[in-house]
Amino acid sequence: MKKSRKDLTIPLEEVARIGLLFLDGDAFEKVLPEKCLTYHGGDDLDYNEEEFNQLKITLMKIERIRAGVAAVLWRRRPDAPENGEVLVAASTINWTPINRVGPLPKQMVRCLEEGKPTRLKHKDGSHSLFSPLLNSDAEVVGVFELHEKAS
């Protein structure tokens, strides 16, 4: 019997692997100009439109690989390394139960420091897969989160 597209569920790890093939860590590093690296958001926050749009479009395409998944790119704040913030997100950021700016969960810190994927199960039953985002020098520059709502 032939399976329909709805019957095929791609594992989250596979979606992350595919996504990381197309996410550009060097572009991620260029999203914020140097003068904005320690800003806390607001109307004065500036960004490099070309890199931002390139990453956002890629994240939106990644979300189409598997229904019910939110794709987000996080960075560690240089002025407060224990904190992070969403730098680029696809259209479904409101699904993620982690604050958009604030203390990083220990699983995300482990991903940043060890350069290996980690998982986090949230209190609402949803879960996140954190994967390291690398630049062309193979340095971890951010975290690629795939968040899946509870079923």
Average pLDDT, the chain: 86
pTM equals 0.86
More confident residue, 36 or 44: 36
Alpha carbon of 74 to those of 77, 97, 143: distances in Å?
Answer: 9, 14, 5
Q: Which of 4-13, 43-52, 95-104, 140-149 has the highest mean pLDDT?
A: 140-149
Residue 132, token pair as written in the block: 């390291």
Instruction: Please state, in angstroms and rounded to a whole number, the distance separating the CA atoms of residues 24 and 112.
Output: 16
Closest CA to 28 of 87, 96, 110: 87
The distance in angstroms from the start CA to the end CA of the chain is 26
Closest CA to 113 of 138, 136, 140: 140
Q: Which residues contact 100 (CB under 8 A, 6 or more apart)?
A: 85, 86, 93
* pLDDT for 101 beyond 50: yes
Query: With bands split at pLDDT 50, 70 and 90, how would you rate the model's confidence at 7?
Result: very low
Q: Which domains does the chain possess? A: 5-148 (3.30.450)
Q: Report pLDDT digits (tens) over 38-61.
A: 666 555 567 889 999 999 999 999
* pLDDT for 142 beyond 90: yes
pLDDT (0 to 100) of residue 35? 72
Q: Report pLDDT digits (tens) over 55-88.
A: 999 999 999 999 889 999 999 988 888 988 888 9
Instruction: Please state, in angstroms and rounded to a whole number, the distance separating the CA atoms of residues 19 and 66.
Output: 11
